[in-house]
Structure 1
Amino acid sequence: MHLHRYATGLLAASLLLSPATLSIADDPDAAKTKPADGKPAATADVASPHHAAATADQEKLDPKEAAAKEAEWLTGTRQLTFSGRRSGEGYYSADGSQMVFQSEREPGNPFYQIYLLDLETGDLDRVSPGTGKTTCAWIHPDGKRVLFSSTQNDPAAKTKQDEEIAIRESGKQRRYSWDYDPQYELMAWNRETEEYTQLTDAEGYDAEASYSPDGKQIVFASNRVAYERELTPKEAKLFKLDPAAMMDLYIANADGSNVRRLTDTLGYDGGPFFSPDGKRICFRRFSENGATAEVMTIGIDGSAPQQLTNMKAMSWAPYYHPSGDYLIFTTNLHGFGNFELYLIDAAGKSEPVRVTYTDGFDGLPVFSPDGKQLSWSTNRTASGNTQIYTATWNDARARKLLGLDASQTVDTQDAEELGRQAASQSHADFKPSDIMRHVDYLCRRELGGRLTGTPGEKAATAYVAAYLENLGVKPAGADGSFFQNFEFTAGVELGEGNSLTVGDESFKVGTDWQPLAFSKTGEFEPANIVFAGYGVVAPGSEEHPVQDAYVHLDVEDKWVMVFRHLPADISAEKRQHWSAYSSLRFKAMVARDRGARGLIVVSGPTSKVREQLVPLRFDGSLSGTSLGVISVTDAMAAKIVKAAGEELAELQKELDSGEPAMGFDLGEAKLTAKIDVQKQQRVGRNVIGRLQVGDAPSDQAILIGAHIDHLGTGASGSSLARDDERNGVHVGADDNASGVAAMLEVAQYLTDLQRRGKLPAKRDILLAAWSGEELGLLGSDAFADKFYDLYPQVPAPEGHPPLSLYPAMAACLNMDMVGRLREKLVLQGIGSSPVWNGEIERRNAPVGLALTLQTDTYLPTDASTFYMRGVPILSAFTGSHSEYHTPRDTPDTLNYEGAAQTARLMGLIARSLATADDAPEYTKHTAPQQQVRAQMRAYLGTIPDYAAGDVKGVMLSGASENGPAAKAGVRGGDLIIELAGRKIENIYDYTYAIEALKIGEEVPITVRRGDKELKLKVTPGSRD
């Protein structure tokens, strides 16, 4: 079957949720149950003690809260079936294109019939003959046969139908909601001949059958043994009360031959399914009295049974995820009538994890073959009748909460095979269907959002490399491969050595306090604590006086406690003025510069934050600070200030006005700490291939690139997901599966030209999929840094700026977010070379795109990496949108025709550049003001290298030509360590130092160039 694998006594549960007058025929969840504790199935007037106890414990959540919790697991939830009195037990075909299910919708027959739904066309066919009872269908892996259980050959089938109709019309109820009719036999329907083959012929209830993954075997449940031998007195008593008590598992050949018994346990064993590898079978086992059930697995030969759950509730209907790593099942742990979906890992090592929270019935869950969708039966419908629902599944969250390695879902060999298949199936011209094929793979949920350094990124890059190789592109990465690895810091985590005491009291890390990511680590000797209000130090202006929370406060070698944000009640104008001085980085810098040992941050009672402790989150900068920085809870802070005779809430209330207030000492208690924050190192990888036009690699090359990475589940601060989408997989369809797909289309076009002798190129073409772009252009920067190591045959440039890659890299074409073409395609970087206007004019003539040309050359994408190294760039972009950096950036939102047109334009431009006699001329520009990340009047014209790594200071990737810094002698590769007498340890120190500069007033700047320190003078310019 599998719908009647509902738990014992479900009729009672359904009646607890329904009017007392509801008949079993009216309630979709009551259709297939069996009695509990040896009693008849409960009616509105009778419920067993077990039922009553469970009902009293039933858990109900607010619908909005339930929906929010479910949204972490399920997105795009929708009702699939609508017709008939009820439907359920929907199972996918092996290719995911069809679903077979059972439904009460046949005129004149009150029982379930089997239906086959084509998920591509919506066509629906009845599989069963329309007479008798049916249940539990399954599609053979070849798609040509459908297996189900039926009483269609029962001579009394029509009579039983008429009796059931009469009972329902009378308003009466049966003793049992599911009678385990001994006339049920396994049937196979041939789709081509539309003929039925009876596979079993034994007295007893044969049902709940499914094919093995290879289609050679069938596993099913049966109580046939009760009809084959004499039962013991105990067995006979239980069987009389409950025919399911003698149900066991059996296995047979696909044609019904060679039947073998797998289990022999008193109590209902049923609902079996093969594991994805065909080696084990999952099922549920009820206790002898039918009161509880647990999830089990067993070998296909009946060996090695294993109980996965021990929930002491009705836990049943298990189903494997296609990876085989975990199972989903149904349980009424939260109340007898409240059936919810849960997960357990395949080894039974994890704690069960809850998935659904909607009151009522959610059961019989099934994954689609690709693991992207979940289908289940539920009565959350408007009518309260059970129907089939589907939703997109969050596999990454499942793995995280079950403690599974995400790499188990990502098979790089599978990725490579799919890449090769895509290359063989793609067209040489620019087809939207080809773009769609690439996007579909890159956005698969098992890739987990392609976060740099994860198995999903590895699979995505394997796909691209295999595709390029199959086109005939040569590897151009490290060590003769298509890949170039680069190491980076992916995040931070608490080490095992954290401890903190104030006076004689110890506080627990992660509960009472925790360090911030940029805190100094190590041991901190006992030191006193002082209070400095909100810790804001801000310069005055015509409208606002100077603000200094440290006036007359001695903080030397002490811990400074400050509130986290800005005062709550200050004016909007003052908030705007102070906002630049309110970040925790800035507050830490202020405390450090005054000699403090550490900074204690407290949110405070009036802050209305979701979490009192500042999250331990990597902010993208490896730079730390030379003092300890910790976050504490309001309760911990209240204890500290109370020792000094103060109340935390009153202090914050007074300070929220923004009026000046003096800081003070917080008593004699001293803080002692050990801070242990560990960096999480990972390795990302780029894909680089070379379309070689001669016998040997050319000295010059055209680069065509797109970044392949995205945000994973959005744990970084760059996610713009709504609260109800938090932790959802960010598949990044537009950003930037679209760009990678377009790059691969260009590769297909160019290799086809070369194969047909229509590419008289004078320089090679490099094809690249960058990783690490979302983390700060890490992959493209790593490539640029190692360019001459990767290609030692290329002569180093002469007469060009330091770090230049030109003319070895003659031009860079970049595609980042090209999947949302609306009115116009935006081409950026026009100002990097005088060649672009003419090239675009000629190559767009046959394409006919409406264009917007932008001269900007300092772009927030990989193209900037190469422009800063002297390379002309052209970057295609179809515009931002509300789905940017959210889980809503999905393949269904893309304009594939527009992406194909964009790829065609870039392909024509690439062809022209490769065949031109000369490399495009490079034009250098100063960085435009709007590209500077801070709101500052003073302007130096320096361009920080955000991928520089763990350095004390600010590494520069360049200095704008004719800017103040360039005029002072500062250049790319310099490390700024001091500005205007202020020590510079990180980008934040540098930003705030610039804020304090006076326009036109010369100040000293110290840089480290190689092993030398250079003291220079710079005169800030104005941005206004």
Structure 2
Amino acid sequence: MKVGRLLCLLGILAPLGCNTFAGRGGEVKTPDPATEGGLYHDARQLTFAGRRSGEGYFSPDGREIVFQSEREPGNPFYQIYRMSLETGETTRVSPGLGKTTCAFVHPDGERVLFASTHLDREAEGKQEAELEERASGRTRRYAWGFDPQYDLFARTAEGRLDRLTGEVGYDAEASYSPDGRWIAFSSNRHAYTEGAGGLLDADDRDRLAEDPSFFIDLYLLDTEDGSTRRLTNSRGYDGGSFFSPDGQRVIWRRFSEDGARAEIHSMRLDGSDERILTRMGVMSWAPFYHPSGDYVVFTTNRHGHDNSELYLVDAEGQSEPVRVTERDGFDGLPVFSPDGKTLLFTSNRTAGGQSQLFRAAWNDAAARQRLGLGAPSAQARSGEQSLPPSTGTLPEIREADLAAHVRALTDDRTSGRRAGTPGELVSAEYLAREMQRIGLAPAGEDGSYRHRFDFTAGIALGLNNTLELSRAGGRESAFEVDSAWRPLAFSKSGDIPDSPVVFAGYGLVAPAAQETAQIDDYAGVDVRDRWVMVFRGLPQSAEAEQRQHLQRYASMRHKAMIARDRGARGLLVVSGPLGRFRHDLVPLRFDASLAGTRIAVISLGDETAEALIARSSVRSLSALQAAADARILARDEEADLYGTELDGISLRATIDLETQRSEGQNVVGRLQVGAAASRQTIVIGAHYDHLGHGEGSSSLASGALVGAIHPGADDNASGVAVMLELAEQLMSRRLTGADLGRRDFVFAAWSGEELGLLGSDRWAADHVDPHSNRDGPVAYLNFDMVGRLRSDLVVQGLGSSPDWGALLERAAVPLELSVSAQNDAYLPTDATSFYTQGVPVLSAFTGVHSEYHTPRDTIDLLNLEGAVQIGELFGRIAVALSRAEPPPSHRAQAAPSSSQSRSGFRVFLGTVPDYAQSEITGVQLTGVAPDGPAEKAGMRGGDIIVEVDGRTIENLYDYTYSLDALRVGEAAAFVVRRDEELIQLEVVPASRD
């Protein structure tokens, strides 16, 4: 029986595995998961518009789908549409004319691949004929036509439609490989070519006219050069192919010659290692891999010609196929979301019995159990999917190649690349594959690219945190942790016995300075074996000079130290109604310091503090805070409240804090320049970790962006991209016989930088001898935030070697790149890990910006042309270092004093200073945070701050010192120079807390 006629009789819309089936209607019912092994649940209809819709595929980030639908006015045939799963908005991708089918999204998430006949001169006539046929009312079963006018097209993000094939014959059923280089598609072009050349016999010519699907085979299209290669050569329909998640294989279904049966096959891209996954003797089609690559979902009519069901089989074809759906009618064309958590399929379980798209939650664990598979990898358990490798990269450093790397590292699947998270693992896997692709030798542990390190990732509340209030007469009440109170991250853990509570103002002990008198909030107060209740921070009404002086004594660690030294059992920190804090509980934040204290330190909510003083002689918490403010401001009203014991009450607590340990991964490869590995090396590195969703204290996100993914395109996907491109350029030169010198290059992508240079510090400790540069690294080149070049590239670390000046000069002269050289070698980046071990360092930096450490640091804001120039400059430096004899010498610098590091400002202005500025009096801004206090006041990027509240600002030190004097919610007078004009602005600082 001819396959085309058989498909008509079955009511199947072929090509099977690429197009919609329209079976008979069935009861509108979501199957009971209990009857289906719990494999899926919550099946919901996704599309409703048009006569029918089907064959949906996810975008790489899982936020959109592409699908085909009959909904275009005046056109009865399918057109391609793109739907946002977040907004429900649907837009047409295809031209709207002719027939279309088989859409698929490129790994870049932008281009959409599909087949179309819109260039057919008879397209409109075929539309009219179909409309007339439908209007006639004649009954017929739906069938697919293998129109030889189908060609492949790709719609770009800019809306351009690129034609990919143009041969006579059916070119359709196409999908991209995970790296985007290859397109697998189905075609019978060879039959038309052979027929035209007289190479088909009479029977095959008749068969081609009657059933062109018989001649369809699989093809590969190379997107780099446009060439095609035939993968299969069998009699019978091969089609509906998709790539495995690792890009090494394709899976498809093959019809028998009589068209009565179809089985699922897979093979490698070179056509070898062909495997048959099913041997069911029925029609099995539309296979699609789970993102883990461990198993496949497909469609089969095992239970009747009019009943298509979803089934599973393992990727090796060793297991007995497992049934997924159980209902009469059509369930088919299944695909998984990129994270493997959602099943998307076509079904006629609709009221009218027409096919529409449905989605359901998928149970991977149940599927594995039914198939007899082991647990998935850690990566699969995390819900992540491998990033596709870069595609089409060339040896020279190019903007397009840089963009590909940045796009991969900022993909949502990396979840912000926080060290120790599944997103870091996804990123590390990508980097290792890229180093392997480039040709770098593994330089990690055990012959791999990975160099692992353990670290303390954070602090969390344990299960046994209690705080109980005892009153006279034995009455007790308990407070709920994390809502009424919260321990601070550096608190002592354990039991604190019932102890009285005494009030000690702001808990300050500070010497006199200029016009500020000495302060001792503990004078005359006995705190031994007691809880000490103090207010957080400083009084809002403190004058500028006093605030600047007291700021360093107002940190919670300092206050805890003072209480400890005076014998207190614990410190109770209260924000108070006059404090103007955004949240009255201090966040439980790990501050990268493991130093704790010997006393309990607890943050109390204002309502909790009110409950404590309710039975004392104090009128209210606000009255208590007003008294504390008066004492600090040298006004003695109600000062007798100091030392007040909150009579009639005592507190006992159990504090349970858990230190969270994790593992980070550096990714390291080596480029050997000679016949043997060199004793000395040049290390070239960039950190790839970032902030995740903004956990910890480093995020500057605000408002609705708090908790969102921080993509870190500039910080520091840009630096990693330049490093990889430089590695590829040098490897290409090595392979073509260029003289790269005498020292091998080690390329390293560091993790844990954002948590304190953890990864690079550990690697340097393992591989650098600080007492000798005869072996190992003799120089380190660093890229950190190199994607926002404006006027000058900042090259830091020139003071680490007397040889850097001349070397930088020779490297920079031929390039059209303005360089600003800075001597400081103690830098807040991985270069410091090497400099402190005696290795000279240079670090490239293009400056901070208003998107720094926020979810707004995205790829569209990068200056990739500038990044290319930076790569070229450091490539010249790297080769010069490899050739140099002797290597650069190390020069010691005095370490910066702790007094130079000023942190903990309460006020937030939203100004972003240009740390690369030179020969400017004042502080020039590279930008201001959107909707921040500075922007609201009229300040903008390029302004130079020259005065704050009457204080002259000549440099960054003046500016940071002036911030101590500012108060939340109270206007401060700023003077900025804009061009040649001095402009006075009123800025109202906001709170960071």
Q: TM exceeds 0.5?
A: yes
Deviations 1:70-128 (A, max 9, x none): xxxxxxxxxxxxxx999999955788999445586636x8x997346799x99741256
Unaligned runs of 5+ in 2: 1-24, 30-48, 85-90, 107-111, 118-125, 152-168, 173-209, 213-239, 244-250, 256-276, 300-308, 314-320, 328-332, 346-357, 367-377, 471-475, 905-963, 965-993
1:691–1:667 CA distance, 2 compared to 1 (3 A): same
Could you say which residue in structure 2 is the equivalent of 1:733?
Answer: 713
1:829-848 matched pairs, under 5 angstroms: 829-848=797-816
Give runs of aligned pairs for residues 10-409 of structure 1, distance below 5 A.
91-92=56-57, 99-100=66-67, 102=69, 106=73, 114-115=79-80, 124-126=94-96, 185=142, 187=144, 190=147, 191-192=150-151, 216=253, 303=323, 321-326=337-342, 346-347=362-363, 408-409=382-383
How many angstroms apart in 2 are the aligned matches of 1:475 and 1:566? 54
Amino acid at match of 1:114: Q
CA change 1:872–1:493 in 2 (3 A) is same
Q: How far apart are the structure 2 equivalents of 1:597 and 1:328?
A: 59
Equivalences for residues 559-598 of structure 1 within 5 A: 559-598=531-570
- Answering whether residue 419 of structure 2 is matched by residue 452 of structure 1, we say yes
Q: Which residue of 2 aligns with 1:54?
A: none
Is 1:699 paired with 2:655? no
* Aligned counterparts of 2:73 and 2:429: Cα–Cα separation in 1: 50
Query: What are the within-5 Å matches in structure 2 for residues 649-728 of structure 1?
Result: 649-657=622-630, 658-659=632-633, 661=639, 662-728=642-708
Q: 1:104 to 1:766 in 2, by over 3 A?
A: closer
Deviations 1:872-919 (A, max 9, x none): 111111121111111121222222222122111111111111011211
Match of 2:200 in 1: none
Q: Which residue pairs with 2:599 in the alignment? A: 627
State whether structure 2 residue 870 is matched by structure 1 residue 925: no
Change (3 A) 1:122 1:508: closer
* Equivalent position SS for 1:324: coil
The 5-angstrom pairing of residues 433-832 of structure 1 reads 433-503=400-470, 504-646=476-618, 647-657=620-630, 658-659=632-633, 661=639, 662-759=642-739, 761-787=741-767, 808-832=776-800
Q: What secondary structure sits across from 1:125 in the alignment?
A: coil
Please give the alpha-carbon distance, in whole angstroms, between the structure 1 residues aligned to 2:94 and 2:130: 28
**Structure 2 counterpart SS, 1:457:** helix
Change (3 A) 1:830 1:86: farther
Aligned residue identity for 2:760: S
Query: Aligned partners of 2:488, 2:660: CA distance in 1, in Å?
Result: 15
Percentage of matched positions with identical amino acids: 39
Q: 1:115 to 1:594 in 2, by over 3 A?
A: same
RMSD value over aligned CA atoms?
Answer: 5.0
| Equivalent pair of 1:750/1:759 in contact (CA under 8 Å) | no
How far did residue 772 of structure 1 move? Answer: 1.0
CA deviation string 1:380-417 (max 9, x = no partner): xxxxxxxxxxxxxxxxxxxxxxxx98853435xx45xx
Letter in 2 for 1:325: K
Instruction: Structure 1 unaligned segments of length 5 or more: list them.
Output: 1-33, 39-83, 131-135, 164-180, 200-209, 219-252, 263-271, 283-295, 308-316, 330-341, 351-403, 789-795, 937-994, 996-1024
CA contact (8 A) 2:701 2:855 kept: yes
Aligned partners of 1:931 and 1:807: how far apart in 2? 37
Q: 2-side partners of 1:118 and 1:843: how far apart?
A: 50
Q: 1:638·1:648 contact (CA, 8 Å) conserved in 2? A: yes
Q: Which amino acid in structure 1 is aligned with residue 751 of structure 2?
A: S
Quick one: which amino acid aligns to residue 622 of structure 1?
A: L
User: CA separation in 2, counterparts of 1:548 and 1:566?
Assistant: 14
Q: Distance in 2 between matches of 1:306 and 1:639?
A: 60
Residue 86 to residue 920, structure 1, CA distance change in 2 (3 Å): farther
| Number of equivalenced pairs | 674
Sort the Cα spacing of 1:580 and 1:122 in 2 relative to 1 into closer, same or farther, 3 A.
Answer: farther
Deviation for aligned residue 1:817: 1.1
User: What SS does the aligned partner of 2:661 have?
Assistant: strand
Q: Is 1:187–1:198's contact at 8 Å kept on the other side of the alignment? A: no
Asked whether the 8 Å contact 1:529–1:558 carries over to 2, the reply is yes
1:463 Cα deviation from its structure 2 partner: 2.6
Aligned equivalents of 1:828, 1:587: Cα separation in 2: 37
2:95 aligned partner, one-letter code:
D
**Paired residues of 2:80 and 2:103 also in contact (CA < 8 A):** no
The DSSP-based 3-state class of the residue aligned with 2:405 is helix
Q: 2:851 aligns with which of 883, 889, 903?
A: 883
Matched, 1:872 2:844: no
Q: Distance in 1 between matches of 2:546 and 2:431?
A: 52
Q: Distance in 1 between matches of 2:798 and 2:285?
A: 74
Deviation at 1:187, TM superposition (A): 4.6
Name the residue aligned to 1:1003.
none
**By how many angstroms is 1:856 displaced?**
1.7
Residues in 2 aligned to 1:631 and 1:408: alpha-carbon distance in whole angstroms? 34
CA distance in 2, matches of 1:758, 1:143: 41
**Structure 2 Cα separation of the partners of residues 489 and 345 of structure 1:** 35
**What is the CA deviation profile of residues 292-317 of structure 1, one whole-angstrom value per residue up to 9, with x for unaligned ones?**
xxxx998798945599xxxxxxxxx9
Matched residue of 1:524: which SS? strand
What CA distance in whole angstroms lies between the structure 2 residues aligned with 1:742 and 1:592?
Answer: 50
Is contact 1:188-1:198 (8 Å) kept? no
The normalised TM-score by structure 2 is 0.59
- What is the one-letter code of the residue matched to 1:565? G
TM-score, structure 1 normalization: 0.57
Code of the residue aligned with 2:873 in structure 1: it is L
1:903 is the counterpart of 2:871: yes
Secondary structure of 1:506's aligned partner: strand
How far apart are residue 678 of structure 1 and its match? 0.6
Residue-by-residue CA offset, 1:59-79 (whole Å, 9 max, x unaligned):
xxxxxxxxxxxxxxxxxxxxx
Partner letter of residue 755 of structure 1? L
CA distance in 2, matches of 1:273, 1:475: 33
Q: How does 1:839-858 map to 2 (within 5 A)?
A: 839-858=807-826
| AA partner of residue 384 (structure 2) | V
Query: How much has 1:475 moved relative to structure 2?
Result: 2.7
Closer, same or farther: CA 608–472 of 1 in aligned 2, 3 Å: same
The answer to whether the 8 Å contact 1:407/1:456 transfers is no
Matched residue type, 1:571: E
* Preserved contact between residue 285 and residue 298 of structure 2 (Cα < 8 Å): no
More moved, 634-643 vs 922-931: 922-931
Per-residue deviation at 1:582? 2.1
Q: Following the alignment from structure 2 to structure 1, what is the Cα–Cα distance between the partners of residues 52 and 554?
A: 58
Task: Give, in angstroms, the shift of residue 442 of structure 1.
Answer: 1.5
